[in-house]
Amino acid sequence: MNAGRPREFDIDQALERALGVFWQRGYEGTSMADLTEALGITRASLYAAFGNKEGLFRRVMDCYEARAGGYRKAAEAAPTALEAVRLLLNGPVELHGNRHNPPGCLGVQGALACGVESEAVRNDLAARRGRGEAAIKNRLRRAAKEGDLATDEDPADLARYLSALIYGMAVLSAGGATRKQLQGVADVALRHWPKPDAKR
């Protein structure tokens, strides 16, 4: 029987290769044949390790967020709201301006053209984006309590605005925007970031 045989491939290496395929082609644009060829494993081995294509994609997204989303963690710990925002805007510039990475964002590209049969994947990606926005909102709420945010600004609105910029830069990158152009978007947003009320 083959059920008890040890896996003949490295899980981390398989996830790395699958990440590259999904990032380039999106979830629906990636076939099982694409994955087995890129990973160098059989379909049975893929199912045994990850359950199915959706299970593999979720594992890949976890890896992607841990690596590519490092700037978000840094922003949560930033000493000021302005520094947090700088990290949140320059992070995508670094990520999408790196020519060694496929264009666009895996979380955005993965959701494109997801039909009814891929609704669970689309919902998972939407939930991940929602958690990212919530983390930004919490950081800005903290800034408001600390007097580090203008009193007439709504942290929730600003969090949506920043999320729109972050994912918007990913879409621009997928459309061919250069690192310089992405940096220009970040710079404009930073120049217009609302300053906290003057200290009394």
Map out the domains of the chain as residue ranges. 11-62, 69-191
Q: Which of 48, 51, 46 is nearest to 21 (CA)?
A: 46
pTM over 0.85: yes
Please tell me the CATH code under which domain 11-62 is placed: 1.10.10.60
CATH 1.10.357.10 given to domain 69-191: yes
Alpha carbons 46 and 8: distance in angstroms, whole number = 11
Query: Comparing 11-62 with 69-191, is the CATH topology the same?
Result: no
Is the per-residue pLDDT at 120 higher than 90?
no
Read off the pLDDT of residues 57-68 as tens digits, 9 standing for 90 and up: 999 999 999 988
Residue 107 banded pLDDT, cuts 50, 70, 90: confident
What are the structure tokens assigned to 188, written together? 């404009």
- 37-46: average pLDDT: 92
Alpha carbons 98 and 47: distance in angstroms, whole number = 33
Read off the pLDDT of residues 64-94 as tens digits, 9 standing for 90 and up: 999 888 999 999 999 999 999 999 999 999 9
Q: Which of 164, 154, 169, 163 is nearest to 134 (CA)?
A: 163
What are the structure tokens assigned to 133, written together? 């926005």
Alpha carbons 100 and 103: distance in angstroms, whole number = 9
Residue 5 banded pLDDT, cuts 50, 70, 90: very low
**How much of the chain exceeds pLDDT 70, in percent?**
91
Is the per-residue pLDDT at 164 higher than 90?
yes
- 103-127: average pLDDT: 79
Pair 20, 102: CB distance under 8 Å: yes
Give the lowest-confidence range in 40-44, 135-139, 185-189. Answer: 40-44
Alpha carbons 74 and 83: distance in angstroms, whole number = 10
What are the structure tokens assigned to 55, written together? 């299970």
Chain-centre distance of CA 134, in angstroms?
14
Q: Return the pLDDT at 199.
A: 58
Alpha carbons 139 and 149: distance in angstroms, whole number = 11
- Please say whether the dihedral angle defined by the alpha carbons of residues 12, 16, 19 and 21, taken in this order, is positive or negative: negative
